[in-house]
Amino acid sequence: MRRRAILGYGAAGVGAVALMLFVGWWQVDGPGGPEPVGQRPVALTEMDFRLTDHEGNAVGPETLIGRPTMAFFGFTYCPDVCPTTLSDISGWLDDLGDEADEMNVVFITVDPERDTVETMAEYVGYFHPGIRGWTGPEEQIARVADGFRATYERVPTESGDYTMNHTASVFLFAASGRFVTMIDYHEPREFAVPKIRRALAEEMEGAT
């Protein structure tokens, strides 16, 4: 009898610990916790940031609303992923033809220390003319990245310089500002154009 009671208490104890662990998980990592990085971007209409485009114009989320948007984070000192993505985007825009003219395409730097307005202007000049370069003060870059749920991090290199780790996905938003989908770097790049077309078409349906 006694042994059974002890076992019962023991089971209750284990249950209580399990419950505590569950509550802990719920609050920290689970649905009750803060949104982890890597979640869906918020709508452009919910973002709040002030940046400068490569021609010196003041821009913000409202600049993008009214037309579908393709956006990408990077930095001009990136030797690999950024020029590759900007060339990919240029190719997609060529394939889209006239439809590309209906889109906003922005390259937002995560390295404002080196990527001044002039630097951005020179850099985007090497790619499709539809691509705009955006930069701004450090804290505004942090705000735009937060809205997109994009991450970036400055990493020192052996050569005494630094490089930037950053979200390499291309974000697609509808003209309404609603987030539609993204194209990840490891996705087969040839699927991008149909995906962009689908995002554009989805918006047309949404509008009617």
Partner 1 sequence: MKKYILTSTLAALLTLGGFSAPALAGLEYVVVENAWSRASIGMNRPGAAYMTIRNTGDEPVTLIGLTTPLAMMPEIHETKTNAEGVSSMSPAGEIAIAPGESVALEPGGLHAMLMRLQEPMTEGDTFPLTLLFDDGGEVTVEVPILGIAARGPED
Does 59 sit near partner 1 (CB under 8 A)? no
Q: Are 47 and 142 in contact (CB under 8 A)?
A: no
How many Cα neighbours within 13 Å face the side chain of 26? 7
Burial of residue 45 (number of CB atoms within 10 Å: 0-12, 13-18, 19+): middle
- Rounded Cα–Cα distance for residues 94 and 201 (Å): 18
Q: How far is the CB of 71 from partner 1 (least distance, A)?
A: 13
Does 168 sit near partner 1 (CB under 8 A)? yes
Per-residue contact string for residues 75-114; x = within reach of partner 1 by CB under 8 A:
-xx-xxx-xx-xxx-xx-----------------------
Tokens in use for 160?
Answer: 């005494």
Q: Nearer to partner 1 by C-beta: 90 or 104?
A: 90
Tell which one of 184, 190, 204, 206 touches partner 1 (CB under 8 A).
184
Q: Which residues are annotated as a binding site for Cu cation?
A: 78, 82, 166
Q: Give 71's contacts (C-beta < 8 A, 6+ positions apart).
A: 64, 104, 105, 106, 107, 108, 148, 170, 171, 173
Per-residue contact string for residues 32-51; x = within reach of partner 1 by CB under 8 A:
-----xx-------------
Binding site for partner 1 (CB under 8 A): 37-38, 76-77, 79-81, 83-84, 86-88, 90-91, 122-123, 126-127, 151, 155, 157-159, 161, 163, 165-169, 182, 184-186
